[in-house]
Structure 1
Amino acid sequence: MCFALTGKAQNIYQDPEQPIEKRVEDLLGKMSLEEKVGQLSTLLGWEMYDNSGESIEPSAAFRDAVRNRHIGSLWATLRADPWTQKTLQNGLNPKTAAEATNALQEFVIRESRWGIPLLLAEEAPHGHMAIGATVFPTSIGQASTWNPDLIQRMASSIAEEVRLQGGHIGYGPVLDLAREPRWSRVEETYGEDPYLNSQMGVAMVRGFQGENLNSGVNVASTLKHFAAYGVPEGGHNGSGLSVGLRELHSSYFPPFKAAIQAGAKSIMTSYNSIDGIPSTANPYLFREILRDEWGFEGFVVSDLGSISGLRGSHKVAATGEEAAKLALLAGVDADLGGNGFDRNLVNAVNEGMVDEKLLNEAVSNVLRLKFEMGLFENPYVDPEKAREGVRNDKHVQLAREVAKESIVLLKNENNLLPLSKDLKKIALIGPNADNIYNQLGDYTAPQEESNIVTVLKGIQNKVGTENVTYIKGTAIRETSQDEIEKAVALAENSDVAVVVLGGSSARDFSIEHEDTGAAKVSQTEGLISDMESGEGFDRLSLDLMGNQLALLKAVQATGTPTVLVLIKGRPLLLNWPEENVPAILDAWYPGQEGGNTIADVLFGDYNPAGRLPVSVPRSVGQLPVYYNYKAPVKHDYVEGSAEPLYAFGHGLSYSTFKYQNLSINVMGGIDGPRISIEFEVTNEGEMDGEEIVQLYINDLVSSTVTPIQQLVRFKRKAIPAGETQAFKFELGKNDLQLLDMEMNWVVEPGEFEIMIGASSRDIRLKEKFTVK
């Protein structure tokens, strides 16, 4: 029996007073080969309970998995969406979710030989993907806040909601650099820059994990996806790429390294291959870099089905046993999906293909987290606490705060915004103006409509129902049911037209899914869903789809002042709107409070300060387009500029800010440089506001080619109207170093240039300094 149930330790592993490593060693020594392999299996959790409406019981599939496969973990037990076929009617609410996880734990502790509790992993990138949880902006919106402290608070709230319902691991953050906007998963990332990604990733890890994983309100963080997953060839999800080691270490590794150093307990492999080696079979990534170089002590989990994919997709293994061997040799500890290791790994060990010592290491890495989280002593949760604590008022207000700070004002010609609340005839038009799922993004559970504030509801809350008239106008992709003529008539008789366009990652029950859970693009005829983004929905172009641009052009042609609001998951081509529409807001997928926050910005109750974490191209022909490309400076194309339409870091305010009084003090040489940078920013506008100052650096002469500019610091700070705030940054060795020709990190003597401004293109202060 488990110590948690008997109150008396019979074995060392059951005694909480013993050191964790001693407990792991004791338990490992008692386990059979099959039990060890079972601990590495993470099965699909939503299949593991039966909900009759009156009681929740372990399913037959779960009972079989425990008794015959000795499983150690479940994934997405509480997930609800079209793939899992869990709805508001047959899914779980926070209270019944806690009851379900308790029932599963009780069964596994009672029925397994050693009473080992389950690890329950849950999807949690912008809120727990479970019915009744708080829905925050997706990661690309989180990054647009440029506010790691706020994101850490958000992550703490998400962790609390997961843990109160019985979960232990939160999948996130996604630390892939998004340098390919055609890729379907841009919305899940923090954008194109390694430093911004690093800061956001560290914030998420600290928020998830807190100071004590045994707190009852914290979860372990699983970093996704190692490595270089966000730049697939042609934007095709999971495709391979060829990238040099220097670029891996300089651009793609730093966010993961920073999160590992912040204490992240888990990391996930990626579906792609790098230079012909699948991530899930790459010992360089997980043994040499992750463990030997960075000192990682957590566990590595495969992405769903990626161990089997070594045989089926990548074709680097002829049998399941060979695939299991490759993954274990590479340093993969846990098998998400449960079909990659299982009997294949048992057979591989029995046949001498795999040293059982490697298996023991993997099992130890998984068991260690169970002990760290106190699951042997406290495997259960309180359903009443889950009912009270999930989506509470504090978390809803935090969702609104994150959404407000994420909104980016792209354009505001002649100060059209903010709008007056005295307007009596407001035309609200567009497919994303009143669609709850289109504003939430992928990895979102079914929602009660009353929990989500659309743009229509938000504006009505602000100025009254009688002053707002709504017409959809068109769909995101469908072109056979347009109401453009009605929209034009409405705009002609209104004081202002707010047009809400963009994209959607909303899955519906007509969408088919891959075995990995990615949505499957269908070319069959029939009514087309709005979904044009989200995992599996890669794009050929980046145009507004369907008749959206035609709708916008028709409304703008009426002469009524027009505001474009964008709700979407990836950068889209906005050349015509930039040339013709006077005001443009980008809200990404703003979450459940999106409508309120968009209204706050439109009507001046909040002064926007969000900044783009990713460049917005002028053409697909430019791709890739990102700000910190390596020298030489790009020249223009025959057809137009090589510059992005909107640069990384761009975002306007209702205030204007003046940068001044830059001073730089250099101390130390190449072995220990310290560069102190001070300057001031004055709010010269009439409105209180926030400014996000950005500090970039350029190594003017270097032994290997380096970026033309690289973000090294940023700070979001409130500055009241008419007041001045001082900013101070200090740079060190890590900010100036490069990988030399021998692949050593070094600071080279010579000149550097500091660039400080409001975006990567809007540089206000410049000065050079020398490191000797």
Structure 2
Amino acid sequence: MTLDEKLAQLVGFWEKGDGEVVAPLQGEFAVEQGLDDAVRHGLGHLTRPYGTRPVDAGDRARWLWAQQRRLVRETRLGIPALVHEECLTGLSAWRAATFPTPLAWGAAFDPELVEEMGAAIGGSMRTLGIHQGLAPVLDVIRDPRWGRVDECISEDPYVVGSLGTAYVQGLQSTGVHATLKHFVGYSASQAGRNFAPVHAGPREIEDVLLLPFEMAVLDGGVRSVMHSYAEIDGVPVAASAELLTGVLRDRWRFDGTVVADYFGVAFLQLLHGVAADLGDAAGQALAAGVDIELPTGDAFLAPLAAAVRAGAVDEALVDRAVLRALQQKEDLGLLDETFDDEPPATIDLDTPEHRRIAARLAEESVVLLTNDGTLPLRAPASVAVIGPNADRYDALFGCYSFVNHVLAHHPEAEVGLEVRTVRESLAAELPSASVTFERGCAVDDQDESGIAAAVAAAEAAEVAVVVVGDHAGLFGRGTVGEGCDRDDLELPGVQRALVEAVLATGTPVVLVLLTGRPYAVDWALDRCAAAVQTFFPGEEGGPAVAGVLTGRVNPSGHLPVSLPRSAGAQPYSYLHPALGGNGDVTNLRSTPALPFGHGLSYTTFARALELDSEAGTDGAIRARVRVTNTGDRAGDDVVQVYGRDVVASVTRPVAQLLGYRRVSLEAGQSVVVDLTIPTTRLAFTGRSGTRIVEPGDVEVWVGPSCATKESQGTVTLVGGVHEVSIADERWTTTLVV
């Protein structure tokens, strides 16, 4: 291969318009070349051919097949391009099924269903000739002010890792490669700001931020990883050989491809200031372990070619990356693909099966926060549905949904999906009730002129359902999403004033939070008749919320992130050591309004824990939980097993999730959940920098959240200090029901 042919395999080509801004600083770096020039020496990736604008999938497939045939037949090497797309909440394409956002996956605590969703998404992608999906996001939530919280799964790294691994396994079961994002540290940014520096210490990085990626690599067999935009202690991850090679490849033995986050290589010069020019940036990224530059070849084409020819960058680094890129294409069958077959003429990207999975995941993710008995609604004569998110279909979708990520730039295009809002769904669920609607206010402006009409509607109704929350967008165009960070955790705009005004009527208020992050709403929880939290539940989210309100669906979601009391307590995690909680040494409370794992039901559950008294430090803890539905209707419980290392050589969390399992129980039914918890779940980085499991007592308990010890016991870890190695570093708790 010539140098030009090698470099062509390391870059993407993105056909896009100037107004289609879906990546940071997109206009700064786009290579000014057409497709004819881009494919002259071959091409590594085709960037988002379906997901950049609303195009008919069948028409676009014919275009894609033609381009692939051109690469096979008209370039010297005849190598097709690898096609990648976004797929965080479903394939990001027009009229494709849109599932709940990852924060809702966390609330559902159902890895089997997430795996099923991943397989459904992958099936659509493979049919359209897409080979790689840029998902899942495995950033652990550290600060809810950060705009990309709706793309994340949880504040607990084990929940992130187990659900993210399930998504990887589902997607890759169809022959589509998953891509872990964003490796690593992105979510721990200073003050919750996008692209801000990360000040995490090495222990936090090892024991919290790296853990989900480790699970997805070791247990999930993921085939691609995307570096993060972050800089950690002054070193941008895109230039960190310690992370991209030392951790990822040398320690974890990852043998797939590392792709750049969009424009991330060029940012080494533009934003980080660690590279003198784009050739220098390309050389640093290659040396660190970045193999593919996305979305285009801003640094890896002409600037890198010049640097190699001048002797500034060793061509052996290019060769290393090319071999990895070609190995991925070989694994995908692309090196033997001729594209002589015909593309699909028509394809249904939103089948009944997609809908079934989307509906079930949306229903499982709805969290009942509080309830005085008003819910479920029992045939009310009149309901006032109020709020800016009550009758807005795009309120159901996250930042990386096609609706909010792409269609926002194409207002002339129809949504292309059948979507029922909360208002429409509630009216359908209550056909005999008089259902009125008043918006009251917008999501994020200061106009209070509509509040009076909302108050009048509430006064005339038996119950008021007030639906407030977020609008997902990009770079300041939303209240949550990429580049949409906050410096407080109050409801955006004048939504609090709306809720306060409706509460003042004396009509029972059911507060529905339709958001992409948790908000500080403790002021409302005790005053509302009930409160429901849902995180961008997708195309079937309206019926899911309405089903919970009416009782057709028994709520079973649990908070995957603590519900904050104030922005001043951030960053906060339930995984804090003793000094991270309340105490006499400060006058300020850090306790959240509601704890991690909290979620109510229309039935009740009782849980009893049995433990083996001892376990080897290199073994596993056996825990058996008998859970009984003590109520009068069927429901799902999420069995949560927590632990605390009583004495350790470094400070440890006051509570840590060791295992979980969703179970379905009829009224009066009991089941025993048998958990085998590897002691590596309790491993931590010791004072020497080595990951270890220490002997000693571990308190173990089960309860409805991390804060309640319903049934508890103690297990003693026996033996010497166990140094955890790659051979036994498996994290998933084994469960038998």
One-letter code aligned to 1:40: L
Task: Measure how far apart 1:635 and its partner are.
Answer: 2.5
Decide whether aligned partners of structure 1 residues 383 and 60 sit closer, same or farther in structure 2, where only a CA change above 3 A counts. Answer: farther
SS of 1:417's partner is coil
Decide whether aligned partners of structure 1 residues 185 and 380 sit closer, same or farther in structure 2, where only a CA change above 3 A counts. Answer: farther
Match of 1:649 in 2: 597
1:450-599 to structure 2, matched below 5 A, reads 451-464=418-431, 467-480=434-447, 482-505=449-472, 507=473, 519-521=474-476, 531-599=478-546
SS of 2:185's partner is coil
Decide whether aligned partners of structure 1 residues 361 and 180 sit closer, same or farther in structure 2, where only a CA change above 3 A counts. Answer: same
Deviation readout 1:221-277 (Å, 9 max, x if unpaired): 010001111011011101111222222111111100111111111000111100000
The reply on whether 1:297 has 2:264 as its aligned counterpart is: no
Match of 1:377 among 330, 336, 339: 336
Distance 1:377 1:655 in 2: 56
Task: Measure how far apart 1:353 and its partner are.
Answer: 2.0
The reply on whether 1:270 has 2:218 as its aligned counterpart is: no
One-letter code aligned to 2:717: V
Distance 1:491 1:452 in 2: 26
Distance 2:298 2:33 in 1: 18
One-letter code aligned to 2:256: G
Task: Measure how far apart 1:673 and its partner are.
Answer: 2.5
SS of 1:571's partner is coil
Task: Measure how far apart 1:559 and its partner are.
Answer: 1.5
Contact 1:175 1:256 in 2 (8 A): yes
Match of 1:188 in 2: 151
Match of 1:611 among 558, 563, 582: 558
Deviation readout 1:396-429 (Å, 9 max, x if unpaired): 121111100111111112x111012x22311111
Distance 2:180 2:606 in 1: 39
Match of 1:286 in 2: 244
Match of 1:151 among 87, 90, 114: 114
Decide whether aligned partners of structure 1 residues 128 and 578 sit closer, same or farther in structure 2, where only a CA change above 3 A counts. Answer: same
Task: Measure how far apart 1:38 and its partner are.
Answer: 1.0
Contact 1:695 1:755 in 2 (8 A): yes
Match of 1:246 in 2: 203
Task: Measure how far apart 1:466 and its partner are.
Answer: 6.5
The reply on whether 1:741 has 2:699 as its aligned counterpart is: no
The reply on whether 1:625 has 2:582 as its aligned counterpart is: no
Task: Measure how far apart 1:345 and its partner are.
Answer: 1.4
Contact 2:470 2:514 in 1 (8 A): yes
Task: Measure how far apart 1:752 and its partner are.
Answer: 0.9
Distance 2:325 2:253 in 1: 16
Distance 1:424 1:266 in 2: 55
Deviation readout 1:509-555 (Å, 9 max, x if unpaired): xxxxxxxxxx333xxxxxxx6x2111011111110121211111111
One-letter code aligned to 1:587: T
Distance 1:678 1:93 in 2: 52
Match of 2:28 in 1: none
Contact 1:756 1:766 in 2 (8 A): yes
SS of 1:577's partner is helix
One-letter code aligned to 2:482: E
The reply on whether 1:722 has 2:668 as its aligned counterpart is: yes
One-letter code aligned to 2:384: A
Deviation readout 1:332-374 (Å, 9 max, x if unpaired): 0000132021112112221222222221110111111111111
Distance 2:42 2:708 in 1: 58
Distance 1:449 1:424 in 2: 34
Task: Measure how far apart 1:331 and its partner are.
Answer: 0.4
Decide whether aligned partners of structure 1 residues 66 and 595 sit closer, same or farther in structure 2, where only a CA change above 3 A counts. Answer: same
The reply on whether 1:754 has 2:700 as its aligned counterpart is: yes
SS of 2:639's partner is strand
The reply on whether 1:137 has 2:100 as its aligned counterpart is: yes
The reply on whether 1:426 has 2:383 as its aligned counterpart is: yes
Contact 1:98 1:382 in 2 (8 A): no
Distance 1:565 1:277 in 2: 42
Contact 2:6 2:322 in 1 (8 A): yes
Segment of structure 1 superposing worse, 346-355 or 426-435: 346-355
One-letter code aligned to 2:38: A
SS of 1:715's partner is strand
Decide whether aligned partners of structure 1 residues 449 and 458 sit closer, same or farther in structure 2, where only a CA change above 3 A counts. Answer: farther
SS of 2:266's partner is helix
Decide whether aligned partners of structure 1 residues 481 and 76 sit closer, same or farther in structure 2, where only a CA change above 3 A counts. Answer: farther
Decide whether aligned partners of structure 1 residues 449 and 763 sit closer, same or farther in structure 2, where only a CA change above 3 A counts. Answer: farther
Distance 1:569 1:595 in 2: 15
Match of 2:351 in 1: 392
The reply on whether 1:70 has 2:42 as its aligned counterpart is: yes
Segment of structure 1 superposing worse, 460-469 or 630-639: 630-639
Deviation readout 1:103-146 (Å, 9 max, x if unpaired): 22122222221111011110000111110100001110111100
One-letter code aligned to 1:463: L
Decide whether aligned partners of structure 1 residues 307 and 606 sit closer, same or farther in structure 2, where only a CA change above 3 A counts. Answer: same
Segment of structure 1 superposing worse, 454-463 or 712-721: 454-463
Task: Measure how far apart 1:769 and its partner are.
Answer: 1.7
Match of 2:283 in 1: 325
Match of 1:257 among 203, 214, 221: 214
Deviation readout 1:606-649 (Å, 9 max, x if unpaired): 11111111111111111111101123352258665321011111
SS of 2:299's partner is coil
Task: Measure how far apart 1:100 and its partner are.
Answer: 2.4
One-letter code aligned to 1:616: L
Distance 1:497 1:669 in 2: 56
CA RMSD of aligned residues (A): 1.9
Distance 1:60 1:37 in 2: 15
Distance 2:651 2:433 in 1: 60
Contact 1:165 1:381 in 2 (8 A): no
Match of 1:403 in 2: 362
Distance 1:644 1:678 in 2: 29
Contact 1:186 1:570 in 2 (8 A): yes
Task: Measure how far apart 1:46 and its partner are.
Answer: 4.1
Match of 2:308 in 1: 349
SS of 2:105's partner is helix
Task: Measure how far apart 1:201 and its partner are.
Answer: 1.0
Decide whether aligned partners of structure 1 residues 104 and 494 sit closer, same or farther in structure 2, where only a CA change above 3 A counts. Answer: same
Aligned residues: 692
Contact 2:613 2:714 in 1 (8 A): no
Match of 2:654 among 675, 698, 708: 708
Decide whether aligned partners of structure 1 residues 580 and 299 sit closer, same or farther in structure 2, where only a CA change above 3 A counts. Answer: same
Contact 2:269 2:278 in 1 (8 A): yes
